[in-house]
């Protein structure tokens, strides 16, 4: 009888099973672009949000077009287009128009590269089988039932788990040597101001994360009724 693989190897295999579809956006690619970085937005601002005051513009107090996306390519696919805007002071908005068509006027075209994104170890523990949870609990010396209520595990207590966490992180754009401009879909890995599961507990779905020109790191979520933009600082 062959021996079962060690738990770190089993955990990595499980991570592949729990991987979520993701589309990485890059400046160079083939075919039709599926998003546009900055430039003229595909969904323009309504007139009452357009800033014309020169002092406000000089101070950066206006909505800046960040990215436009062909909404058919979002994980929650819709007709039309969506444009994300940021404003100094923390205001962010996403404008959706089912009739809009993506263009890249004065911006940079973004091309899609479909892939799969593995979860981080906290999500792996939450969604994994009982034997994996038991192994992690043994490594950390805390009952699994208690840790299932935690958003973040004290992985630093276990060299084995720390190494496993680093292996999973090495596949994520945040820790990669060369990042994509953005991604559609995938896993939320959490931020200093927001845990990875805060929105998932509300059944919200991650639509977009931008990496170019960060900070801020920009996320777009589907709440079930509307889109919501969030900025994060690290």
- Mean pLDDT to the nearest integer, 164-185: 92
What domain range includes position 43? 7-232
Indicate if the alpha-carbon torsion angle 36, 39, 42, 47 is positive or negative.
Answer: positive
- Mean pLDDT to the nearest integer, 134-155: 93
Quick check: 166 and 155 in contact, CB under 8 A? no
| Per-residue model confidence (pLDDT) at position 134 | 92
What CATH number should be reported for the domain holding residue 192?
2.30.320
The alpha carbon of residue 2 and the mean position of all alpha carbons in its chain are separated, in whole angstroms, by 39
Instruction: Quickly state the pLDDT bin for 88 (edges 50, 70, 90).
Output: confident
- Mean pLDDT to the nearest integer, 160-172: 92
| Per-residue model confidence (pLDDT) at position 61 | 65
pTM above 0.85, yes or no: yes
Closest CA to 87 of 115, 37, 145, 45: 45
95-107 residue pLDDT tens: 999 999 999 999 9
Instruction: Quickly state the pLDDT bin for 5 (edges 50, 70, 90).
Output: low
Quick check: 92 pLDDT over 70?
yes
Number of domains in the chain: 1
User: Percent of the chain beyond pLDDT 90?
Assistant: 73
- Mean pLDDT to the nearest integer, 208-233: 93
Strand runs labelled E in the chain: 20-26, 35-37, 63-70, 81-87, 91-97, 108-117, 182-185, 205-210, 217-222, 227-232
| Per-residue model confidence (pLDDT) at position 60 | 63
42-72 residue pLDDT tens: 999 998 887 766 666 665 667 899 999 999 9
| Per-residue model confidence (pLDDT) at position 2 | 39
Instruction: Quickly state the pLDDT bin for 122 (edges 50, 70, 90).
Output: very high
DSSP state of 202: G
Quick check: 117 pLDDT over 60?
yes
Instruction: Quickly state the pLDDT bin for 8 (edges 50, 70, 90).
Output: confident
In a domain, 2, yes or no: no
């Amino acid at each position: 009888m062959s021996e079962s693989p060690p738990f770190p190897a089993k955990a990595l295999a499980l991570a592949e099973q729990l991987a979520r579809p993701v589309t990485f956006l890059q400046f160079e690619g083939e075919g039709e672009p599926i998003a546009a970085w900055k430039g003229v937005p595909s969904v323009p601002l309504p007139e009452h949000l357009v800033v014309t005051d020169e002092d406000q513009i000089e101070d950066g107090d206006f909505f800046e077009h960040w990215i436009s996306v062909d909404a058919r390519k979002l994980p929650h696919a819709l007709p039309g287009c969506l444009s994300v805007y940021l404003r100094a002071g923390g205001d962010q908005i996403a404008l959706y128009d089912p009739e809009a068509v993506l263009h890249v006027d004065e911006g940079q075209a973004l091309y899609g590269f479909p892939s799969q994104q593995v979860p981080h170890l906290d999500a792996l523990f939450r969604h994994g089988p009982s034997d994996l949870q038991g192994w992690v609990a043994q490594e950390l010396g805390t009952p699994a039932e208690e840790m299932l209520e935690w958003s973040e595990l004290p992985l630093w207590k276990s060299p084995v788990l720390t190494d496993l966490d680093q292996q999973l992180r090495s596949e994520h754009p945040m820790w990669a040597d060369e990042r994509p401009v953005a991604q559609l879909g995938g896993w939320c890995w959490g931020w200093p101001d927001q845990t990875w599961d805060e929105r998932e507990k509300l059944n919200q779905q991650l639509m977009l994360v931008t990496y170019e020109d960060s900070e801020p790191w920009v996320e777009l979520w589907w709440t079930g009724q509307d889109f919501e933009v969030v900025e994060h600082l690290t």
